[in-house]
Amino acid sequence: MRVLMIQTPSVEGISQERVYPIGIVLLASCLQGYGHAVSILDMNLELDPFGALREKLLAFQPAAIGLSLRNIDPLGNRSNSFITPFLATVHWITTILPKAWLIVGGTGFSLFPERLMRGIPDLDYGIIGEAEVTFPALLRSLDNPPHLPGLCWRKGTRIKVSPPTTEFDMANYVAANRRLLDPVFYKGINNYVPMIGIEAKRGCELCCAYCVYPQLQGKRLRCRPPAAVVDEIESLQKDYGIERFHFTDPVLNVPRGHLEGICEEILHRKLKVRWDGFMREDHLNEKNVALFERAGCECFSFSPDGLGQEALDVLCKNLMEAEILKAAGLVAQTDVKSVYHFMVNVPGETKETSEQGIRFVEQLYELHSKKKNLGAIVLNNIRILPGTRIERMARSQGIIRADTDLLYPTYYNPSPFDTLRYQLETLTAAQKCHDEAES
């Protein structure tokens, strides 16, 4: 079967940051192994994405089309939505190739499967979460598929959803066939984010109040063998000259020893690469911080989220304020930059906690003042996502109504602290100017 895999618009038009769509390339590689003729289109790369889509549809004439809805909106407190261009993509396809089967997946879809299937009748099927097993099985039986993990289908006027699988054995993980989508198209585009993602594990055992990773990937950690991860990195460097990578894991340095094993393998092979990923503060110590730096870590990315112990507890971070500051003190002594992400105006915010948050930010700048290696402090309000504790809190507090459509940007930011983020951003901007003046 001829199958076209499409990464639908998932970045704002003004953004110059483009990320290689590892998800659809992995699936395309898998389908190719089953004998399907596969092609890929990343609409984010195109100056005229819908013109490129029309040209691809007419030239390739696929019988089935896999649509990846990776992001529903750009987050970062913005109100734009990627649902609009997704709807336009579906309409464009059904106008040009009305007989093609449309199958949607991706993280964005997995958050709102029933809502999207009900609202977009042209979608034939959806797949929640991991699709390496379900997608090939679906293509073998499109007219009458069996019950498959994560499958969404129509039964009369109802939408039926099977629970997703979170059991794919990462020991059987086969690296994407990059020849299906040449990484060279992404080289030189990004200023901040490494263009190539590496998946070292799936799953997250944490239970943060705002997060959907556990429901999408499961709570059990499934790790790839460190040597296999580095095989992929080495191949990308050798074949495509890629030297910067972003690990896509929910938390990179959990469980203990896995990232250490990857770094030791990088050093053993004498690879000169740079990488980053989100790390858990309470898993850092002097020894592994030094190891990560030697192995090419170019940014310690943290998402402690709570600006103080009260906020950490409300967000169910299972983390102590002292542990964050200790980790900051360790990485501040390196030659690697650090980035911290925090959520502002969390449930239970008071005048006292907001003042504590300001002092906490000041402490981080002080810790990094000697080496000036604090890359950024990113401040966001909480994007309310379905199935999270934050959603339940917001509903019980009347911040969102029973009929609030969370598909579109919805943030937890009630008064009287709805302007706290601006106050903190002013503080970080002033500190940045001060640091630049001294350098």
Q: What does the block give as tokens for 274?
A: 């740079």
Contact 102, 123 (CB under 8 A): yes
Q: How confident is the model at residue 372 (pLDDT cuts 50, 70, 90)?
A: very high
Of 312, 318, 320, 315, nearest to 388 (Cα)? 315
180 is a domain residue = no
Residue 430 domain-assigned?
yes
Q: Does the structure show a pLDDT above 60 at 425?
A: yes
- Cβ-based neighbours of 141, under 8 Å, separated by 6 or more: none
Helix, coil or strand: residue 145: coil
DSSP category for residue 409:
-
pLDDT at 439: 65
> Considering the domain boundaries, does residue 28 fall inside one?
yes
Task: Retrieve residue 166's tokens.
Answer: 């979170």
- Single residue among 161, 190, 208 that ends a domain in this structure: 161
Helix (H, G, I), strand (E, B) or coil at 135: helix
Whether 206 is covered by a domain: the verdict is no
In the predicted structure, residue 324 carries a pLDDT above the cut 90: yes
Residue 337, domain extent: 280-439
**What is the per-residue pLDDT for 406?**
96
Q: What percent of the chain has pLDDT over 90?
A: 86
The reply to whether 296 and 431 lie within a common domain is yes
In a domain, 77, yes or no: yes
CATH number, domain containing residue 420: 3.30.750.200
What CATH number is attached to the domain comprising 128? 3.40.50.280
Whether the CB-CB separation of 109 and 150 falls below 8 Å is answered with no
Rounded to whole angstroms, what are the CA distances from 244 to 188, 193, 198, 331, 339? 11, 9, 10, 20, 17
Helix runs in 47-175, H state only: 49-60, 83-96, 107-111, 113-119, 134-139
Let me know whether 149 and 295 are in one domain. Answer: no
pLDDT in tens, 384-409: 999 999 999 999 999 999 999 999 99
Q: What's the pTM value of the predicted model, to 2 decimals?
A: 0.94
Tell me if 159 sits within 8 A of 117, measured CB to CB.
Answer: yes
| Res. 250 pLDDT band, cuts 50 70 90 | very high
Residues 6+ apart with CB under 8 A from 382: 210, 343, 346, 390, 411, 412, 413
Q: Do 288 and 426 sit in the same domain of this protein?
A: yes
Across all residues in the chain, what is the average pLDDT? 94
Residue 88 counted as domain residue: yes
Boundary residue ending a domain (109, 141, 161): 161
Position 191 pLDDT exceeds 80: no
Task: For residue 167, name the pLDDT band (cuts at 50, 70, 90).
Answer: confident
pLDDT at 165: 86
Answer yes or no: do 299 and 154 share one domain.
no
In residues, how long is the chain? Answer: 439
Residue 243 placed within a domain? no
The structural domain count of the chain equals 2
Domain boundary among 112, 127, 161: 161
At how many degrees (to 10) do helices 321-331 and 286-294 cross? 40
34-91 pLDDT per residue, tens: 999 999 999 999 999 999 999 999 999 999 999 999 999 988 888 899 999 999 999 9
Here the tokens at position 275 are 């990488």
Task: Say yes or no: 12 and 146 in one domain.
Answer: yes
Residue 14 has pLDDT above 60, yes or no: no
Residue 157 and residue 296 share a domain: no
pLDDT at residue 190 above 90?
no
| Beta pairing class for 411-412 and 125-127 | unpaired
Say whether pLDDT at 436 is over 80: no
Per the CB < 8 A criterion, the answer to whether 30 and 132 are in contact is yes
Tell whether 309 is covered by a domain: yes
